[in-house]
Amino acid sequence: MADTLPLKHSVPVRHALAMYWRALAAQVRSIIEYPADLWVMASAGAVWNLLQFAFLAVLFSTVPDVEGWGFHEMLLLSGLLSIAGGANALLFDGAWSTGQMVIKGDIDYRLTRPAPVVLQVGSSHIGLQSFGELLLGFAMFVYGWIGAGLGPAWIPVGLFAIACAAVIQCGLVTALCAVNFWIKSPMSMFAFLMIDLQGGAMKLPLGVFPAAVRVISLFIVPVAFVNVVPVAVIAGHMSAWWLIGTPVTALFAVVLAAGVYRLGLRAYDSAGH
């Protein structure tokens, strides 16, 4: 099937991005039609972050620090991770549907459209929990920032870290979801494993984990550059040189997502084959 349809369109980047934003806007309009669903799911995302805040509050009521990290620095970690997850759910949540689209053959008509398939798939859905995640994630990040005593001079670095975190999260999730072009499963198991790694390890300093975990999260599946590395640099726990790895990882994540998706489209043979 893939051999009979174009895998690449000569579409200017500006035009492709314009189509992406129009598709995303259409999703937002459809969400507004059902405000009750929006509020319920947004509240669920917010509650999860409130539970994380409560956990940290209870933890630091009994211990002064964790590997030299204080309460507000840990809030920065959790807040930035929530922002990245919320950005992924808002901007590219459709990537999670890659496996289902492959099995059902829904990729077929997207191959015929004059826009990159990965952008069409990514903008096909918005996770309603993203609104709660982003709101409470930003609140935790700002509260942690103020509590940690970080001055205005670090604000550009903080904003840069947020932008890179969103790009890295979207890119890595999309690349891992694209594996479903080959394994033919509706569930994006590799992407779920990455989220589990983040939920279990990336809300704590890397120093509390064995060397194997640090190597994996820094150099194999570089989720540490989503939140741990930039926060560690801002808080003074790592050298500023490590911050260079954040935009490099963001670029790597984008190239990886585009590359794996393109290879997946070459292997795609529609439904029933």
Classify each residue of 27-44 as buried b or exposed e, where b means 16 or more C-beta atoms within 10 Å of its C-beta. beeebeeeeeebeebbee
pLDDT attached to residue 11: 66
Whole-number percent of the chain with pLDDT over 90: 73
Each residue of 221-259: pLDDT tens digit?
A: 999 999 999 999 999 999 999 999 999 999 999 999 999
Each residue of 179-200: pLDDT tens digit?
A: 999 998 889 999 999 999 998 8
pLDDT attached to residue 1: 47
Query: What does the mean pLDDT of the chain come to?
Result: 91
Of 128, 76, 68, the C-alpha closest to 234 is 76
Of 240, 105, 100, 224, the C-alpha closest to 172 is 224
pLDDT-based confidence at residue 40 (cuts at 50, 70, 90): confident
Report the distance separating Cα 74 and Cα 222, nearest Å: 19
Provide the CB-side half-sphere exposure for 92 (13 A, CA).
Answer: 24
Each residue of 60-83: pLDDT tens digit?
A: 999 999 999 999 999 999 999 999
pLDDT attached to residue 8: 45
pLDDT attached to residue 10: 54
pLDDT-based confidence at residue 28 (cuts at 50, 70, 90): confident
Q: Contact at 8 Å (CB) between 202 and 226? A: yes
Which residues are CB-neighbours of 229 under 8 A, at least 6 positions away?
218, 238, 242, 243, 245, 246
3-state secondary structure of 66: strand
pLDDT attached to residue 7: 46
Of 115, 90, 88, the C-alpha closest to 176 is 88
